Structure 1
């Protein structure tokens, strides 16, 4: 009986996990509210404390012209770093890991599914802020 209970518990856990396995741009839009104090996205996006995030997924570091990036981000740009999904995921987990002296005063997003949803949301926007 105990084995059956363990198997059922494991199956329930797997089912619950797979329900959120597919990133959702719609859920990511809600997660983006955590970013809105410092960042904008869309056709009317302007710099705030941080740069607009239009076209961020796949962009070079420090890609927004005229924004004064931290030295860490500038060094990453000089090294040819790209904001790919893996790099964004790492940065969003804890920005200070990739940019220890960076300006971003944000503790990060600890939940894997929220980061995936946020990246799905961000990836909808091209460099001009239009949805792809």
Structure 2
């Protein structure tokens, strides 16, 4: 009787959509390599074409001193955009949907696992 209950429950958990979303910061570091062309992530690091992303998780948008943000990004920042996990997820998946007219030329991360891993990596950089 116990097997009939536990086995389907365990299989259901393993096949749930959330099981694939487990975040892996080490894997996220590898995903971040595609961001390195424009961004740095070291504490106190310089900005490149894009701003330094150290501490970006839960930071107000447009907050890196000395970086020249696009007008659309400055407008979103003035409206209170903060890089919560939800906002990072939306922006990293499709930057133009969150900041229309923004200057980030990256098309977005379509793979949900890579996106979850990248967010875990960014959140660990504090």
Q: What is the TM-score with the length of structure 1 in the denominator?
A: 0.80
- Counterpart for residue 14 of structure 1: 15
- Counterpart for residue 104 of structure 1: 104
Shift of 1:43: 2.6
Tell me how large the CA RMSD over aligned residues is.
2.0
Return 5+ residue gaps in structure 2 as ranges.
Answer: 1-7
Partners of 1:108 and 1:45 in 2: CA distance: 24
Is the contact between residue 72 and residue 99 of structure 2 (CA under 8 Å) also seen in structure 1?
A: yes
Is the contact between residue 21 and residue 116 of structure 2 (CA under 8 Å) also seen in structure 1?
A: no
In structure 2, relative to structure 1, the CA distance for the partners of 1:50 and 1:14 (3 Å cut) is: same
In structure 2, relative to structure 1, the CA distance for the partners of 1:74 and 1:30 (3 Å cut) is: same
- Counterpart for residue 114 of structure 1: 114
Return 5+ residue gaps in structure 1 as ranges.
Answer: 1-7, 127-132
Residues 44-97 of structure 1, C-alpha deviations (whole Å, 9 max, x = no match): 521110000011000001010111101111011111110000000000111010
In structure 2, relative to structure 1, the CA distance for the partners of 1:16 and 1:58 (3 Å cut) is: closer
- Counterpart for residue 35 of structure 1: 35
In structure 2, relative to structure 1, the CA distance for the partners of 1:112 and 1:16 (3 Å cut) is: closer
Equivalent residues in 2 for 1:12-91, closer than 5 Å = 14=15, 18=19, 20-43=20-43, 45-91=45-91
- Counterpart for residue 5 of structure 2: none
Give the count of matched residue pairs.
116
Partners of 1:87 and 1:16 in 2: CA distance: 20
